[in-house]
């Protein structure tokens, strides 16, 4: 017994030494940066805002700590690293309570980062400070502390200072119910007990993307009795709209609590959906945990239209109180909306792929991935072919849509508040002009910053590939492996554009002999699918767009951008109409909107229209979306020759 106690004390002591070393190192680094911030806030707060540099905060109603008098969380808390250095608080530790906890000792201190901070930011349901502190003490170790530190940093993505909660959160004209787990379970119980027919849908970012393209689906969601937020995307979106969620109530986490409620209240449930056998396997797994749960029926989701009346009779004969429908987003909601009045159940839930998880057909993401809101990455790795487009394209598209939605929702609020005191025409003009210039300058700055960082990094990483391609091109065809050509840039400025040579030497001299075979209908650009001048290596690098990689030099030099209209040759510009020349109003790019929409298959006039649309709507976020869309376009060689 004494030996075990001695080993435990040694372990705790070693853990304390490791932890303090990490705290010293990080505190000194952060405080070095914080020293510069001190002068910034000294000038800003004292000279311009006429307020104190520091403000005090109280922890456990006993100790007073000082932080910077500003709103951004990270900058505000930098002075707290001084107290970490002193040993008054820990870098990672217990979450602060309203009253001093019995857990707090010299060994177990309040932490700047805590498990509660992670759970609170990610809106994880069924959690509390007490539970989180207990969980932390149970697993406390240097590695566990380091994991919480990383989780806390990631959870800043979802951080929002909470002033008050609203009962409803509106996003893309769809109202979410902003409830806790306890509140929604109470509503479910009331609906079943009062025999009210209620529909409940779990809506994530992908569902909202679909609703923007499918007005019928959108209308069904608007009519739903309960719309619950599902996923980190909705959490971020609500923070952007300054309307934070109470809890992230996804169906997979809420399902066991509904089963527990059904078992306690003797509710009967019916499982309908998924592949053959999955609903039955889900039932078998559930009955292992909930011994007296009444699962009165199961049925797979592959039901023909003519067999639906029989399915409805089976559900009604089972006298089910709750019907779980797992047919996938939009299909399950359409089924519930269409047949709700013909089915005797009181509560209808659309639960997507829930049966896959509870039948153990698909493994769910580990807890630490779910805690940081990155379960979608785990799902994508499980089914990359089915999920990559949904997440890699859909998620940025969704967030861009949220920013646009916020912009359109709030565009008149600020102006209207000032019009009471200022001349409408003059103020409106000045306000719009200032905003336009600010947006233009910020967008240009971030676009150029992205161009420099991405092009510089890719040139460094792809240097071995450049060497290999250059060697292969030289082996097949004598001459330079690079092809330089004068192209027309922004506002008609001529520059030399680089490409890997994909044709034989002196190919331009042979072009006059092939003009009659030009497959471009407009006659301005020259396109030919089976161009005899292209080498074997050239066909490959053109198909995969590897020939465009040297243009990263042009991007780094500022002659081109990553995203923008493709740079034309001088002879093509000579054929341009006045309208066509508008595509020269912006810096040319390696990829563009028509490059990801069909490339060479799109006629020139349509290219001009698409380029003009990009010039009108372009922005930093829009560029990122186009860059992401370029990946599948290159991978599948869509429209390239």
pLDDT digits (tens, 9 = 90+) for 172-193: 888 888 888 889 999 999 989 9
**pLDDT computed for residue 525 by the predictor:** 58
pTM for this model (two decimals): 0.60
**pLDDT computed for residue 416 by the predictor:** 47
Q: Are 270 and 297 in contact (CB under 8 A)?
A: yes
List helix spans (H) across 204-300: 205-213, 215-223, 232-240, 251-265, 278-289
Q: Per mean pLDDT, which of 33-37, 421-425, 599-603 is the most reliable?
A: 33-37
How many CA within 13 A on the CB side of residue 269? 28
Q: Of 306-310, 391-395, 550-554, which range is least confident?
A: 391-395
Inform me whether the pLDDT recorded for 436 exceeds 70: no
Q: What sign does the dihedral 251-252-257-260 (CA atoms) show?
A: positive
Instruction: Tell me how far the alpha carbon of residue 618 is from its chain's centroid.
Output: 20
Q: How confident is the model at residue 317 (pLDDT cuts 50, 70, 90)?
A: very high
Percent of the chain beyond pLDDT 70? 81
Q: What sign does the dihedral 119-122-126-129 (CA atoms) show?
A: positive
More confident residue, 191 or 18: 191
**pLDDT computed for residue 248 by the predictor:** 85
Mean pLDDT confidence for 303-307: 89
Inform me whether the pLDDT recorded for 461 exceeds 80: yes
Inform me whether the pLDDT recorded for 271 exceeds 90: yes
Match 């409805």 to its residue by tokens.
312
Residue 353 neighbours by CB distance under 10 Å: 18
Instruction: Tell me how far the alpha carbon of residue 390 is from its chain's centroid.
Output: 11
Mean pLDDT confidence for 282-310: 90
Inform me whether the pLDDT recorded for 124 exceeds 50: yes
Angstrom CA distances, 342 to 195, 336, 337, stand at 14, 10, 10
Q: How many residues belong to the chain? A: 641
CA nearest neighbour of 543 among 641, 468, 451: 641
| Mean of per-residue pLDDT scores for the chain | 80
Mean pLDDT confidence for 519-527: 56
Q: What sign does the dihedral 360-365-371-373 (CA atoms) show?
A: negative
As a whole number of angstroms, the distance between CA 531 and CA 527 comes to 8
> Residue 292: CB partners within 8 Å, gap ≥ 6?
263
Domain boundaries, the chain: 11-158, 170-358, 384-437, 440-635
**pLDDT computed for residue 41 by the predictor:** 67
Q: Is 466 exposed, middle or buried (0-12, 13-18, 19+ CB in 10 A)?
A: middle
> Residue 35: CB partners within 8 Å, gap ≥ 6?
none
Q: Of 105-119, 230-244, 351-365, which range is least confident?
A: 105-119
**pLDDT computed for residue 421 by the predictor:** 46
As a whole number of angstroms, the distance between CA 169 and CA 242 comes to 10
Indicate the Cα dihedral angle 348, 353, 356, 358, nearest 10°.
Answer: -50
Q: How confident is the model at residue 412 (pLDDT cuts 50, 70, 90)?
A: very low
Mean pLDDT confidence for 599-606: 69
Mean pLDDT confidence for 428-439: 54
Q: Is 136 exposed, middle or buried (0-12, 13-18, 19+ CB in 10 A)?
A: buried
Inform me whether the pLDDT recorded for 547 exceeds 90: no
Inform me whether the pLDDT recorded for 354 exceeds 60: yes
Inform me whether the pLDDT recorded for 571 exceeds 60: yes
Inform me whether the pLDDT recorded for 515 exceeds 70: no
How many CA within 13 A on the CB side of residue 421? 3
**pLDDT computed for residue 424 by the predictor:** 44
Angstrom CA distances, 44 to 31, 35, 52, 82, stand at 19, 15, 10, 22
CB environment 198-234: b (16+ within 10 A), e (fewer): bbbbbbbbbbbbbbeeeeebbebbeebbbbbbbbbbb
Q: Of 431-435, 438-442, 460-464, which range is least confident?
A: 431-435
**pLDDT computed for residue 514 by the predictor:** 62
Q: How confident is the model at residue 584 (pLDDT cuts 50, 70, 90)?
A: confident
As a whole number of angstroms, the distance between CA 633 and CA 628 comes to 9
Residue 401 neighbours by CB distance under 10 Å: 18
Angstrom CA distances, 513 to 39, 531, 543, 569, stand at 70, 12, 24, 19
Q: Of 7-11, 91-95, 242-246, which range is least confident?
A: 7-11
Segment 97-105 long-range contacts (CB within 8 Å, at least 24 positions apart): 97/60, 97/129, 97/130, 97/133, 98/60, 98/61, 99/60, 99/61, 100/60, 100/61, 100/62, 101/133, 103/133, 103/134, 103/137, 104/60
As a whole number of angstroms, the distance between CA 168 and CA 187 comes to 15
Match 């785990």 to its residue by tokens.
378
Percent of the chain beyond pLDDT 90? 8
Q: How confident is the model at residue 19 (pLDDT cuts 50, 70, 90)?
A: confident
As a whole number of angstroms, the distance between CA 641 and CA 439 comes to 38
**pLDDT computed for residue 234 by the predictor:** 87
**pLDDT computed for residue 423 by the predictor:** 45
Match 């072009």 to its residue by tokens.
511
**pLDDT computed for residue 410 by the predictor:** 58
- Specify the CATH superfamily of domain 170-358: Response regulator (3.40.50.2300)
Q: What sign does the dihedral 512-515-520-524 (CA atoms) show?
A: positive
β-bridge pairing 294-299 and 268-273: parallel
As a whole number of angstroms, the distance between CA 201 and CA 226 comes to 6
User: Which helix (H) or strand (E) segment is 41 a member of?
Assistant: helix 2-41
As a whole number of angstroms, the distance between CA 184 and CA 245 comes to 14
CA nearest neighbour of 519 among 601, 588, 583, 437: 601
Q: What three-state secondary structure class fits 364? A: coil
Mean pLDDT confidence for 621-632: 80
Q: Is 335 exposed, middle or buried (0-12, 13-18, 19+ CB in 10 A)?
A: buried
Using only C-alpha atoms, the chain has a radius of gyration, in whole angstroms, of 30
Between vectors from CA 95 to CA 91 and to CA 100, what angle results, nearest 5°?
A: 115
Which H, E and C letters describe 93-135, residue by residue?
CECCCCCCCCCCCCCCCEEEECHHHHHHHCCCCCCCHHHHHHH
Q: Are 247 and 123 in contact (CB under 8 A)?
A: yes
CA nearest neighbour of 204 among 329, 51, 76, 48: 329
């Amino acid at each position: 017994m004494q030996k075990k106690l001695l080993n435990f004390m040694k372990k705790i002591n070693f853990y304390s030494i490791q932890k303090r070393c990490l705290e010293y190192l990080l505190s000194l680094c952060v405080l070095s940066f914080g020293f510069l911030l001190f002068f910034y806030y000294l000038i800003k707060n004292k000279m311009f805002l006429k307020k104190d540099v520091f403000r005090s905060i109280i922890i456990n109603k006993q100790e007073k700590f000082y932080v910077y008098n500003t709103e951004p969380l990270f900058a505000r808390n930098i002075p707290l690293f001084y107290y970490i250095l002193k040993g008054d608080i820990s870098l990672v530790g217990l979450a602060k309570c309203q009253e001093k906890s019995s857990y707090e000792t010299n060994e177990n201190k309040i932490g700047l980062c805590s498990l509660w901070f992670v759970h609170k930011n990610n809106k994880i349901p069924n959690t509390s400070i007490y539970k989180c502190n207990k969980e932390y003490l149970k697993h406390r170790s240097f590695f566990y502390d380091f994991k919480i530190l990383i989780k806390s940093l990631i959870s800043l993505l979802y951080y929002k200072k909470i002033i008050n909660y609203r009962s409803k959160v509106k996003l893309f004209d769809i109202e979410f119910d902003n409830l806790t787990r306890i509140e929604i379970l109470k509503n479910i119980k009331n609906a079943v007990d009062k025999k009210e027919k209620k529909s409940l849908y779990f809506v994530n970012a992908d569902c909202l993307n679909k609703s923007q393209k499918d007005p019928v689906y959108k209308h069904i969601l608007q009519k739903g009795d309960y719309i619950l937020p599902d996923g980190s995307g909705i959490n971020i979106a609500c923070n952007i709209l300054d309307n934070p969620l109470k809890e992230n109530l996804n169906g997979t986490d809420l399902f066991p609590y509904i089963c527990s409620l059904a078992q306690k209240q003797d509710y009967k449930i019916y499982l309908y959906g998924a592949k053959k056998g999955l609903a039955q396997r889900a039932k078998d797994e559930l009955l292992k945990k909930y011994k007296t749960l009444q699962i009165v029926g199961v049925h797979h989701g592959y039901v023909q239209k003519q067999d639906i009346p029989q399915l409805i009779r089976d559900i009604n004969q089972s006298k089910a109180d709750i019907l779980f429908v797992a047919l996938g987003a939009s299909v399950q909601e359409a089924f519930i909306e269409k047949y709700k009045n013909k089915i005797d159940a009181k509560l209808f839930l659309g639960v997507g792929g829930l049966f896959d998880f509870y039948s153990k057909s698909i493994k769910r993401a580990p807890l630490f991935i779910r805690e940081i809101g990155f379960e979608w990455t785990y799902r994508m790795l499980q089914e990359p072919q089915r999920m990559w487009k949904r997440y890699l394209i859909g998620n940025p598209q969704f967030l861009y849509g949220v920013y646009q939605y916020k912009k359109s929702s709030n565009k008149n609020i600020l102006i209207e508040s000032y019009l009471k005191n200022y001349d409408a025409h003059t103020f409106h003009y000045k306000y719009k002009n200032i905003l336009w210039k600010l947006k233009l300058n910020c967008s240009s700055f971030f676009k150029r910053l992205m161009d420099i960082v991405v092009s510089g990094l890719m040139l460094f990483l792809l240097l071995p590939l450049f060497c290999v391609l250059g060697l292969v091109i030289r082996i097949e065809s004598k001459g330079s492996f690079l092809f330089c050509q004068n192209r027309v840039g922004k506002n008609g400025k001529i520059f030399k554009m680089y490409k890997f040579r994909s044709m034989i030497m002196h190919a331009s001299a042979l072009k006059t002999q092939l003009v009659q075979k030009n497959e471009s209908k407009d006659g301005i650009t020259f396109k030919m699918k089976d161009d005899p001048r292209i080498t074997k290596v050239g066909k490959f690098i053109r198909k995969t767009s590897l020939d465009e990689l040297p243009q990263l030099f042009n991007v780094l030099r500022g002659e081109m951008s990553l995203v923008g209209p493709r740079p034309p040759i001088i002879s093509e510009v000579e054929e341009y109409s006045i309208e066509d020349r508008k595509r020269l109003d912006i810096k040319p790019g390696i990829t563009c909107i028509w490059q990801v929409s069909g490339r060479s298959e799109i006629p020139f006039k349509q290219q001009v229209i698409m380029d003009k649309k990009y010039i009108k709507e372009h922005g930093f976020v829009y560029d990122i979306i186009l860059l992401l869309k370029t990946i599948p376009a290159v991978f599948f060689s869509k429209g390239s020759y």
